[in-house]
Amino acid sequence: MDTSIEAITATSELKARVESDQLIDYLLHLADNALILGHRNSEWCGHGPILELDIAITNIALDLIGQARHFYQYAAELINQPDVTNRKASPMGGGLEGATEDALAFLRDAKDFKNCLLVEQPNGDWGVTVMRQFFFSTWQYYLYQHLQNSNDKRIAAIAAKALKEVTYHVRWSSEWVIRLGRGTEESNAKMTNAVDVLNQYSGELFTPADYENVAVREGYGADLCTIKHLWVQKVKETFQDATLAFLLPSNDHILQLFGKIGEHTTHLYELLTEMQFLQRTYPGAQW
Amino acid sequence: MQVTDTHFQDKINADIKVEPKEWMPGKYRQTLIRQISQHAHSEIVGMLPEGAWITRAPSLKRKAILLAKVQDEAGHGLYLYSAAETLGITRDEMVEQLHSGKAKYSSIFNYPTLTWADIGAIGWLVDGAAIINQVPLCRTSYGPYARAMVRICREESFHQRQGFEILLTLSKGTQAQHDMAQDAINRWWWPSLMMFGPPDDDSPNTAQSMQWKIKRQSNDELRQKFVDICAEQVKALELTLPDDKLAWNETRGHYDFGEINWDEFYQVISGNGPCNKERMTARVKAWEDGAWVREAAMKEVIGQ
């Protein structure tokens, strides 16, 4: 763990912001995205199509879980500030004292998770996993590029460090999208199917929740309109190389669910049941 | 013995490493292919029992450590397959031998991981036994194998420590956690002792392997070393090993221990362990599901 990032503590100016809860929500959103996708990728460990790819997807999982920990740790520090008052509700879903990274990951309910629907979708075949990674990492890359200039020094530091990792994730996933798109008839069909399965979740990446709007207004978050423009460009180019048909990010899912504010598919509920089982079964135990 | 054979044995006796392009007896080559590929397969199949707990690890830190550890095993598999390939067999052929049952892997991985404590027990006992087996292999006579083992041993000792640390935390935790740790040790102890292979008087390949310095210590010698270490370490865990006969023998300067159930060992090796079918099904499924990915990647390589 990088201690220099943890050393950047909340300033009094930031504490004021916390009163609105929005910064905490924003951090949880960033953390949850990373954790849930890291978790999904980790499900591949031992089951990849070839040893080298098993190792690569596990690397990405490790990077994402590492990022999640940084954001959770920061969120936990803010939640634990004694002089923060008037919060509408604990992000823990009710009066949990002494937040920690683990409490935030293992003791919140699905409705309190703020990740995008894209990351909680099941792995599907390798094509869906690679496409999901490409959609997400491309988004995360432009997001972190902005966040490294965040006026919140801690967010900026986490983003700057993670950007190096995400740069690799984009390179790796885009190369595989191209390789499999171009590869064989079968692999092209699998990748086309992956776009079909996942495109309905891409629009949410660019649809801001309230806390994201506040984050932009306060100067610690990133504007999703700019990111969308860059994302579309990158995905379009990559798809051209991959001989895949490009579809604009779809917003269809918004009619039903909005993961960023805790409206999730059953997949997240199942994922959390598995992930949280030990912490829930043995409350208060140390591991 | 032919002239080349004599010359080869002289080289072995002088502790000169054998390198891939050099002459070696056919049986030396076959023994190494069998042993290295078996070792590689053990790393790969060994990812499954521990991998089953990555999604259920009880904290983010434990999750990251376990993920990194299982990933290390994939890396070990990779070094070992590469070492075996220098002997004139392809990775695909080795995988095929694993899936058809022609090649074996360590029988320990046919046992299930029932609780989180099993992750601790695997680290402490299974990786601990692996280290004892593998440290002498860093000096094995075949160069690529010896060099792969140096890297592997370095990582294994970290794995063993993290396993011990998981058990220590559980042992000092709640009563339920303490019991969970003891139960895991009870289940993993005997299978770990079997990891050293059959007793010396029932180990047909040992003599030749020792002469060629592929193997440098006998199964029973290594097993004894392991028992002596664990019998001490378990005290620090405030847990026990499930063996009434375990006792320090002043005369021998070693711990005596009970009879190993070799019938169980041979049963598990011949496919009747609790998870043999499950493990092979998982490996074959991963391989078959990934076929289209490998084909597409190969096409790119050939096309360029």
Each residue's pLDDT tens digit, A176-234: 999 999 999 999 999 999 999 999 999 999 999 999 999 999 999 999 999 999 999 99
Cα–Cα distance measured from residue B149 to residue B157, given in angstroms and rounded to the nearest whole number: 12
Q: Do A51 and B56 touch (CB under 8 A)?
A: no
Dihedral angle at the C-alpha atoms of B166, B167, B168, B170, nearest 10 degrees? 90
DSSP labels, B79-145: HHHHHHHTTS--HHHHHHHHHHTSS---GGGGS---STHHHHHIIIIIHHHHHHHHGGGGG-SBHHH
Q: Are B105 and B195 in contact (CB under 8 A)?
A: no
Q: Would an 8 Å CB–CB cutoff place A165 in contact with chain B?
A: no
CA Rg value for chain B: 20
CB proximity under 8 Å: B 30-59 to A: 44, 47-48, 51, 54-59
pLDDT at A253 over 80: no
pLDDT at B18 over 50: yes
Range from A267-271, B257-261, B266-270 carrying the lowest mean pLDDT: B266-270
B74: left (phi over 0), alpha (psi -120 to 50) or beta: alpha
Q: In angstroms, what separates the C-alpha of A255 from chain B's closest C-alpha?
A: 31
Model pLDDT, residue A249:
86
What is the tens place of the pLDDT at every residue in A120-154? 999 999 999 999 999 999 999 999 999 999 999 99
Of A59, A72, A279, the CB nearest to B58: A279
Model pLDDT, residue B1:
57
Q: For helices B91-100 and B276-289, what crossing angle results, to 10°? A: 140
Q: Would an 8 Å CB–CB cutoff place A283 in contact with chain B?
A: no
Q: Do A49 and B64 touch (CB under 8 A)?
A: no
CB proximity under 8 Å: A 186-215 to B: 186-187, 190
* Interval A98-107 mean pLDDT: 95
Range from A52-56, A77-81, B297-301 carrying the lowest mean pLDDT: B297-301
pLDDT at A90 over 80: no
Give A82 or B245, the one with higher predicted confidence. Answer: B245
Place of tokens 């201690």: A3
Dihedral angle at the C-alpha atoms of B274, B96, B297, A169, nearest 10 degrees? 30
Of B77, B291, B296, the CB nearest to A180: B296
Q: Would an 8 Å CB–CB cutoff place B295 in contact with chain A?
A: yes
Best of A35, A43, A44, A51 to disrupt the B interface by mutation (most B CBs within 10 Å)? A51
Model pLDDT, residue A97:
62
Q: Do A125 and B77 touch (CB under 8 A)?
A: no
Of A182, A190, A274, the CB nearest to B56: A274
H-state helical runs in chain A: 3-6, 12-18, 22-42, 51-79, 101-106, 117-120, 126-147, 153-182, 185-198, 210-218, 224-242, 266-275, 277-281
Cα–Cα distance measured from residue A29 to residue A213, given in angstroms and rounded to the nearest whole number: 13
The proportion of chain B whose per-residue pLDDT surpasses 90, expressed as a percent, equals 88
Amino acid identity of B45? Answer: V
pLDDT at B10 over 80: yes
Q: What pTM value is reported for the model?
A: 0.93
Q: Are B53 and B118 in contact (CB under 8 A)?
A: yes
SS3 B276: helix
Q: Would an 8 Å CB–CB cutoff place B297 in contact with chain A?
A: yes
* Interval A15-22 mean pLDDT: 63
Q: In angstroms, what separates the C-alpha of A183 from chain B's closest C-alpha?
A: 4
Best of A60, A184, A185 to disrupt the B interface by mutation (most B CBs within 10 Å)? A184
Q: Would an 8 Å CB–CB cutoff place B304 in contact with chain A?
A: no
Residue of A nearest to B280 (CA): A47
CA neighbor of A71 nearest in space, from A145, A128, A2: A2
Q: Which tokens is A226 given?
A: 């700019």
Best of B44, B47, B60, B275 to disrupt the A interface by mutation (most A CBs within 10 Å)? B60
Cα–Cα distance measured from residue A158 to residue B17, given in angstroms and rounded to the nearest whole number: 48
Q: Which tokens is A134 given?
A: 């490409």
Half-sphere exposure of A75 (CA within 13 A, CB side): 28
The proportion of chain B whose per-residue pLDDT surpasses 70, expressed as a percent, equals 98
Model pLDDT, residue A88:
47
Average pLDDT for chain A:
90
For B135, B141, B205, the CA distances from B211, given in Å and listed in that order, are 18, 10, 10
SS3 B254: strand
Average pLDDT for chain B:
95
Q: What is the ipTM of this complex?
A: 0.94
Q: Do B64 and A68 touch (CB under 8 A)?
A: no
Q: Which tokens is A181 given?
A: 């798109």
Give B202 or B137, the one with higher predicted confidence. Answer: B137
Q: Do B71 and A59 touch (CB under 8 A)?
A: yes
Model pLDDT, residue A1:
45
Give residue B250's Cα distance to chain centre.
31
Of A45, A49, A68, the CB nearest to B289: A49
Q: Would an 8 Å CB–CB cutoff place A7 in contact with chain B?
A: no
**Would you say the C-alpha torsion B237, B239, B240, B241 has a positive or negative sign?**
negative
Model pLDDT, residue A109:
97
Cα–Cα distance measured from residue B63 to residue B54, given in angstroms and rounded to the nearest whole number: 6
For A56, A212, B290, the CA distances from A177, given in Å and listed in that order, are 15, 30, 15
Model pLDDT, residue B278:
96
Residues of B in contact with A282 (CB under 8 A): 174, 176-177
pLDDT at B284 over 90: yes
Residue of B nearest to A284 (CA): B174
CB proximity under 8 Å: A 62-121 to B: 62, 65-66, 68-69, 72, 101-102, 105-106
Model pLDDT, residue A166:
98
Range from A1-5, B134-138, B145-149 carrying the lowest mean pLDDT: A1-5
CB proximity under 8 Å: B 75-134 to A: 75, 77-78, 81, 116
SS3 B238: coil
Q: Are B275 and B49 in contact (CB under 8 A)?
A: yes
* Phi, then psi, of A80 in degrees rounded to 5: -80, -5
Cα–Cα distance measured from residue B204 to residue B253, given in angstroms and rounded to the nearest whole number: 28
Give residue B9's Cα distance to chain centre.
28
Per-residue DSSP letter, A38: H
DSSP strand pairing (B254-256 vs B247-249): antiparallel
Q: In angstroms, what separates the C-alpha of A99 from chain B's closest C-alpha?
A: 14
Model pLDDT, residue A271:
98
Residue of A nearest to B50 (CA): A46
* Interval B173-190 mean pLDDT: 98
CA neighbor of B145 nearest in space, from B90, B215, B208: B215
Best of B37, B45, B59, B168 to disrupt the A interface by mutation (most A CBs within 10 Å)? B59
Q: For the beta carbon of residue B175, count every other beta carbon within 10 angstroms.
A: 7
Cα–Cα distance measured from residue A200 to residue A121, given in angstroms and rounded to the nearest whole number: 11
Q: In angstroms, what separates the C-alpha of B126 from chain A's closest C-alpha?
A: 18
pLDDT at B141 over 60: yes
* Interval A154-180 mean pLDDT: 98
Cα–Cα distance measured from residue A47 to residue A164, given in angstroms and rounded to the nearest whole number: 27
Model pLDDT, residue A93:
47
* Phi, then psi, of A108 in degrees rounded to 5: -90, 150
Residue contacts between A and B (CB atoms, under 8 Å): 137
